[in-house]
Structure 1
Amino acid sequence: MKRVVVLVLMLGLILAGCGGLLPKGDSSNSTQDDNGKNKEGKTEIKFWSFWGSDPRKATINKIIDDYNKSQDKVVVKYTYLPWGDIWTKNLAAVAAGNPADVVINDINSTALRGLKNQAEDITDLAQKDNLEGQFSKELWQASQHEGKVYGIPFNTDTRILFYNKDAFKEAGLDPNKPPETWEELEKYATMLDKKKGDTYERIGFYPLFGVGPDIWLMNKKHQNYIDDEGKVTLNTQENINTMNWLKKWQDKYGTDVLQKYQAKFDSQQGNPFFDGSVAMIVKDQSFATQLDDFAKDIDYGVVELPAATQGEEQTSWGGGFVAEVPKGSKHKEEAYDFIKYLTNEQNQKLWAEETFDLVANEKAAEAAGKNLTGNKQQAYQTAVDNMKQTILTPVPVDAPEYFNLVNPQLDNIMQGKKSPEEGLEKAQKDVEKLVEQNRK
């Protein structure tokens, strides 16, 4: 999962005491008077994001330009900050009392920023415009803390299964009938495996190519490790069974083979799915753009993740980003107005079509999915449909760093250093202790 964002945020709490580390060229250094107005009498809104490459840069600049022309009271000034820098600099600016007015931030840590008084409460403004109805329940809830809104969802993602239709045909499988359960996933993978002597020329499927164990743990139990009340559910029989299932896959192929394949994945253009040496893989919908860039000739299909058992609802995981007003902004209402514009149906649809991001506005996502063509249309529409079964994992305010306790134990299990029972019991106790300490 993309939990590196949260690590950056934790480090940012330390760096925040170092003062206002504003980016070079930030609009706060220029044309505003003491009331935040420029020489034309317009209020300047400072907007920070990490969108610096095409097509995102071109698209956000178009939206900003359209907004600036749509009214004569506010002008938005855009600053690009590199991924990894933006969150620490945002926290430092908040601590220094000189924040941006709008910033794009991680959705799963929104509640944590609300708790720590790092984002403005925009509940009344959002309720007045009835923004809640524009987004899925999962995305809207992830943008809150204790019922108060601290950000408006901008985009999201979800994990889905990509499969090579030509490989299916070669193995005698119907390319229009992908696996629906974990049992079928194993059966299909065995049929798709291709060996020459002791060497794998093609691996049918390995569940930890593209995602971590947590995706499969949540697929099985349909919930995060920690609920809203602080109850920890790590050491369960369902999770033990899932870790044993993952270990069985690893034992089948062997660590040497899997490490060689993983090295190819890490090289991007050498991705084994691109050359057909892996037949199925779990990725988010944006993988379709990589296939367009590096493997145009692959005939692939896209489907939701198989469910653990027949008749059981499958579950996927997603992340995403919100547009929020950092605490201390001197132009909260004007900043919110721009956020409302940024997340309306028209601009969200434009963003989706230009960038292939899965946008948070549900009507815009549906419309964008219908306007795409070919395999990309299938991938995007599958992602849109899959949001109904996609959960988010907002950082628990009682245990914001819980993954530092869980992930090493999952690694220990996969490396054979601990049994699933031992590793999950240790993780359970450690996280319970963390929740108890933080609640005190």
Structure 2
Amino acid sequence: MDRRRFLRWAATGVAGAAGATALSGCGSGTGSGDVTLKLVAADYGNPGANNSSKIYWRKLADAFTEKNPGIKVDVTVHSWNDIGKKLTEMVENGNPPDIAQVDSYADWAAEGKLYKVSELLPIPVQAEFLSSLAEAGEVRRVQYGLPFVGSTRVLFYNKDLYAKAGLDPDEPPSSWEQLQVHARRLKEAGVKIPYGLPLGPEEAQGEALMWMLGNGGSYVDSVGNYTLNSPENIETMQWLRDNMVVPGYTEPNPQRVDRQKLFDAFSAGQVGVLNGHPTLMQQADQKNVSYGTGKLPGRDGPAEGTLGVADWMMAFRKNGHREECGKFLSFVYEEKNHYAFASQYGLLPVTTSASERMRKDKRHKKLWPFLDQLASAEFYPVGKVSWAATNAALKETVGQAAMKGGDPKSVLTTLQRKAEAAEKKAESA
């Protein structure tokens, strides 16, 4: 019986003793006296705006304590630029928080520093997570990471620039060949950046993977082995180099261009086409850009999959507050609480009930194409302990494969060797 089916079965009460064990296990921690949980979270708010995530967490923490008077929650919120370093320092200094919300978890799970999800949450709460995301939270087939919010990627294009180039503003490109034709027409019409290709260190690994998915490639195979230099991936980067970069349909040196720079340029009406996530939609709406969206183009037609990205919650063992952590996390994922966060920031919920609610909420109709892809999206192999080192290497060098004069086979083979070395090191640790 697969994990998802079992959890649904157990959640209905049919699992009997197995379900009772999981539920009672969640309540067998310290459970005595007053406890203050320390929560460290990332800020999803915009700089200078009055929408810091600290406001959400403080309100939620107060509501939780009102229902659970013996448990207080001390909230610290850091920017995305700082949280990784701050949290790492806390863990290395032997002073981790009880709960953290950040973008990775595998290293700490492998070191035995985190509670298993099965130790924290009752089965009905576990069963609420979308299965693809729950599985992405596993290290060696055990779930430690709790998905917090997600996003997927779609193709964005500027309808006004399409009209200027004599292209149908209601027909985005569905294949690489069509994308090349559209980019050429946009360039001939004087568009500054026909196709936005962010292969700089901010998220080169994401842009590269989206292109690879369009050609049947990926970073890992079905059993988790790295496949960075597969024939499909090499072919993808060769096509991108020869048909988009060399003809000048992108910025001159994409490996130095970050995603946010191109998002800003798209919102300023300077980019014809690029891949983006829900944040770009919000940004473009604020600038009154007339844009359309479509599926990612693939080699011979629309790509079968798209990139999915999730941020994660986790609970550290150090302070022994398993029961209290479980109670708070169950509260976090109650439909109204989880939906409130995702809705506020234009992100995708990761539970079935909150996803269904967003799918019915017409205020979020523009998010539905992203939401529809979430369950089948391809996620980074974040459960691999070697992924952190591999991801860093991809960010720094994968863009070289698509540059003028670049050698995709050499670049990807070097990355493959580094990934295999990192994996070997992780396995022997």
Q: Scaled by the length of structure 1, what TM-score is found?
A: 0.77
Match of 1:346 among 332, 336, 361: 336
Q: Which residue is 2:279 aligned to?
A: 286
Question: What is the alpha-carbon distance in structure 2 between the residues aligned to residue 52 and residue 207 of structure 1?
Answer: 24
Matched, 1:428 2:420: no
Q: Say yes or no: does 1:236 pair with 2:230.
A: yes
Asked whether the 8 Å contact 1:157–1:357 carries over to 2, the reply is yes
Cα gap change, 1:262/1:226 in structure 2, threshold over 3 Å: closer, same or farther? same
CA distance in 2, matches of 1:243, 1:329: 47
Q: Which residue matches 2:41? A: 49
- Indicate which of 141, 156, 159 corresponds to 1:162: 156
Root-mean-square deviation (Å): 3.2
Partner of 1:385: 372
C-alpha change, 1:86 and 1:277, in structure 2 (3 Å) is: closer
Q: Distance in 1 between matches of 2:74 and 2:425?
A: 43
Aligned CA distance change for structure 1 residues 407 and 203 (closer, same or farther; 3 Å): closer
Structure 2 residue aligned with 1:307, among 289, 298, 323? 298
Q: Which residue of 2 aligns with 1:147?
A: 141
Please state whether the residue corresponding to 1:75 is helix, strand or coil: strand
Instruction: Write the distance in 2 (CA, Å) between the matches of 1:324 and 1:299.
Output: 40
Match for 1:81 among 78, 83, 96?
Answer: 78
Q: Give the secondary structure class of the aligned counterpart of 2:157.
A: strand
Quick one: distance in 2 between partners of 1:347 and 1:428?
41
Paired residues for 1:28-427 under 5 Å = 42-51=34-43, 53=45, 54-55=50-51, 56-106=53-103, 109-126=104-121, 128-195=122-189, 200-208=190-198, 212-225=207-220, 228-229=223-224, 231-248=225-242, 249-253=244-248, 257=252, 262=257, 266=261, 271-293=264-286, 295-296=287-288, 298-310=289-301, 313-373=303-363, 377-378=365-366, 380-395=367-382, 396-398=384-386, 400-407=388-395, 409-416=397-404, 418-427=406-415
Q: Which moved more, 1:342-351 or 1:140-149?
A: 140-149
Q: CA deviation at 1:409?
A: 4.8
User: Measured at CA, do residues 407 and 348 of structure 1 come closer, stay the same or move farther in structure 2, by a change above 3 Å?
Assistant: closer
- 3-state DSSP class of the match of 1:324? strand
CA separation of 1:259/1:328 partners in 2, compared to 1, >3 Å: closer, same or farther? Answer: closer
Query: Does the Cα contact within 8 Å between 1:114 and 1:144 map onto a contact in 2?
Result: no
Q: Describe the shift of the 1:329–1:413 C-alpha distance in structure 2 as closer, same or farther (beyond 3 A).
A: same
Equivalent residue of 2:311, what SS? strand
- What's the offset of the Cα at 1:282? 1.0
Distance change >3 Å, CA 369–CA 418, structure 1 → 2: same
Shift, 1:400, TM fit: 4.2
Shift in Å at residue 251 of structure 1?
0.5
Conserved? CA contact 1:164–1:299, under 8 Å: yes
- Whole-angstrom CA distance in 2 between matches of 1:81 and 1:406: 25
By how many angstroms is 1:181 displaced? Answer: 1.9
SS in 1 for 2:276: strand
**1:69, CA displacement in angstroms?**
2.0
Name the CA distance, whole Å, in 2 between partners of 1:265 and 1:437.
34
Q: Which runs of 5+ in 1 are unaligned?
A: 1-34
| Length, aligned pairs only | 387
Contact 1:110–1:142 under 8 Å retained in 2: no
> In structure 1, what is the equivalent of residue 7 of structure 2?
none
AA matched with 2:34: K
The sequence identity of aligned pairs, in percent, is: 23
Once the 2 structures are TM-superposed, how far is the Cα of residue 204 of structure 1 from its aligned partner?
Answer: 3.0
Q: 1:253, CA displacement in angstroms?
A: 0.7
Tell whether the 8 Å contact from 1:119 to 1:324 is kept in structure 2 after alignment. yes
Deviation of 1:140 (Å): 0.4
Gap change, CA 1:141 and 1:416, over 3 Å in 2: same
For the structure 1 residues 424 and 262, does the alpha-carbon distance in structure 2 shift closer, same or farther, using more than 3 Å as the test? closer
For residues 378-404 of structure 1, the C-alpha deviation after alignment (integer angstroms, 9 at most, x for no partner) is 2x1111012134111133225641234
The secondary structure found in structure 2 opposite 1:46 is strand
TM-score w.r.t. structure 2 length?
A: 0.79
Change (3 A) 1:151 1:68: same
Distance 1:408 1:78, change over 3 A: closer
- The whole-number CA distance in structure 1 between the counterparts of 2:423 and 2:133 is 24
SS of 2:113 mapped into structure 1: coil
What is the SS of the residue equivalent to 2:266?
Answer: coil
Work out whether residues 201 and 277 of structure 1, in 8 Å CA contact, stay in contact via their aligned partners in 2. yes
Name the CA distance, whole Å, in 2 between partners of 1:368 and 1:325: 27
Change beyond 3 A, Cα 1:57–1:184: same
Cα distance, 1:150 vs structure 2: 1.5
Q: Which one-letter code corresponds to 2:170 in the other structure?
A: N
Deviation of the 1:103 alpha carbon: 1.1
Q: Is the 8 A contact 1:110 1:144 kept in 2?
A: no
Unaligned segments of structure 2, at least 5 residues: 1-29
